[in-house]
Structure formats: C-alpha cells, structure tokens
Amino acid sequence: MSSPWSPLSIEEDEEIQELGAEEQQVGEQLRQGDGQQQELTADARAQETGMKRARSVSSSSTNPSNSRKSEGKIKVEENAPGAATGVILSLRESLQDCKQSLASCQVELEAAKSEIEKWHSAFQSIPAVPSGTIPVSVVSYLSTLKSSEESLKEQLEKAKKREAAFIVTFAKREQEIAELKSAVRDLKTQLRPPSMQTRRLLLDPAIHEEFTRLKNLVEEKEKKIKELQDNVAAVNFTPSSKLGKMLMAKCRTLQEENEEIGTMASEGKIHELGMKIAVLKSQNNELRNQFDVLYKHMDGVTNDVERSNELVSILQEELEAKDLELTRLKEVLAQKGATQDAPVETSDDAGNGQEADSDTLQVKAES
C-alpha cells in the first residue's frame, strides 16, 4: 500500500519557495514602512489571531464533537495529494489581501496626515474656526466676518452720532414749542375777562343779549355825544368855522381808519402766531417721523449685532467641541502607542504556534 503522505513535486516546491520569497519581501516593506502603519497592522493581526483563538476555544468548549470532526477533516485534507497546492493558493490570496490592505492603509494615513496638518495650521492662525468646512474656506469666512463686524461697528458709531444730533435738535424744538405755548397761554389770559362774574353773566343768554344791546347803545350815544361836542366846538370857531368843520370831519375819518387799522393789526398778529404754531407742529411731526425711522434702524442694527454675537458664541462652542475631539484622538493615539508591546508579544506567540505546526508537518512528511 502507498503511504498517505505523498512526496511533493518539483513545481510545488518551487511555488513554496516563491511564496517564501514574497513573504520575505512583504516583511521588508513592513519594516521599512511607517511606524504607525506597523502598529495598525500588528493590532489588526493580533485582533484576528485573538478572534480565531477565541472562536476555536468556544467551538471546542461548546461542541467537542465538532472539534473532533474538524480535526478529522484537517487530517483528511492533509492526507489528500493536492493539499499543498490549496495551501499555496490560500497563502497567495492572503498575501494579495495583505498587500491591498497595506496600500489602502498607507493612502488613508497620508490623507489623514495632510488633513491634520491643514487643520493644525488653521487652528494656529485663527482662534475660532467653525466646523464642517475645509480650512481655506474657514479662514476666508472668518476674514469676511471680521470685516463685516468692523463695518457694523462704524455704522453703529455713525448712527449714535446722528442720534445725539437729532436729540439735541429735538430738545431745541421742544424748548421753542414750550416757549410758544407759554406765549399763547399769556395771550389767552390777556383776552379773558377780568373777573369770573362777568363770564358767568355772559354765559346766561338773556343777560348776554341785554348786555350786548346796552353796550351797542352806549357806543352809539358816545359817538353822538362826540359829534355834538365837535359840532359845538366848530360853531364856536371864528368866521373860518367851515374849515374847522372840515378838519373835524377829516379827523373823524382818520380816527375811524386808525381804529380799523388797530383791529386789523391785532388780528394779523394772532393769525401770524397761529401760522407759526402750525408750521412748528408740522416740523415737530416731521422730526417725530424721522426719529421713528431712526429708532427702527437702530433696532435693526442691534438685532444684527446680537445675531453676530450669537454666531460668534456658536462658533466658539464648536471650536471647544473640536478641541475636545482632538484631545480625545491624541489620547487614543497615546493609548495605541502604549499598547504596542502587547500586540508584539501576541504576534510572537502566534509565530511560535506557526513554527510548532510547521515542525509537526515536517515530522509527518518524513514519516
């Protein structure tokens, strides 16, 4: 009968040698690579070996019959003549997977390094940076925000100066209005009757009519008395009495004209004062409208300033969150650096296990 362990062919020996050379090249690349990448790959390998061991232990502890069956299958596969080719193919696939994962990890590491350098430069140049954007756009946004804040401050100062000027003019106008009101009050007091009794009497309609009638009669009688006195004085003149009568008539007409002019002048003053009051009221209304517009503008400016302050506070909070995240990442990196020795020890244990398995395979092949 033929032995269960058939000798390897020359082609299989060559393939095994090629795989060994490729594994040596990969090991040299890993040694020459970045230290952080080596840590990541070592951690990944340690985790994979730990998971495999845990699975094997759990499966063996839970189902001993399954473990025995799997050992029987492994022995059958090892006894098969094409076991070496299967091992070679699996090693090649694992080597390709390791190469691909190594390349992808290196690319991701370079991208992460460049991004971290950009963010470091941005954080060093500017104290408050919002999240969710690239550093260049953040810097431009903050520069525009600073310029807008300065322009808003300038506008606020100008508005304050205008407000002070308007307040001064408004105070002057109010003072003028108060003076005019006092003048109108004085005029009204002058036009009022001397006593309250006459006012009460005038409020009675019958007495008012009788009083007005008597007043008119008195005025007419006084006029007649004056005319008669003038006529008597004219009659007592010298032969030139006609000229005296003419002079008296002329004086009478002049007196009437003077009275009319006086009444017109008094009415004209009151009318002028009323016109001035109306003009001042219109100016006061205009000033009030301008003050309302200015007050609305000031409200808008204060709202904009409050919004900008809220935005600055939000940006500061986001910056603090980013700082906390950076510190957390630094702590994670420090923990990974501290746990470098443990993965190396686990990898050494895994290598010793592989060497023991290879020794058993060599013993079986010799037998």
Against a cut of 0.75, is the pTM above it?
A: no
Residue 6's pLDDT is 39
Cα angle 181, 182, 187; round to 5: 95
pLDDT for the residue numbered 354: 52
pLDDT reported for residue 106: 84
Cβ atoms within 10 A of the Cβ of 8, count? 15
The pLDDT value recorded for residue 134 is 56
- How many residues in total does the chain contain? 367
Q: 10-residue block means of pLDDT along the chain (367 residues)?
A: 42 62 64 51 50 46 45 44 68 82 86 79 59 61 80 89 89 91 86 65 75 90 87 63 73 86 75 83 89 88 88 90 90 84 53 52 45
Rounded to whole angstroms, how far apart are CA atoms 294 and 297?
A: 5
pLDDT at 14: 65
Neighbours of 315 (CB within 10 A): 19
Residue 89 has a pLDDT of: 77
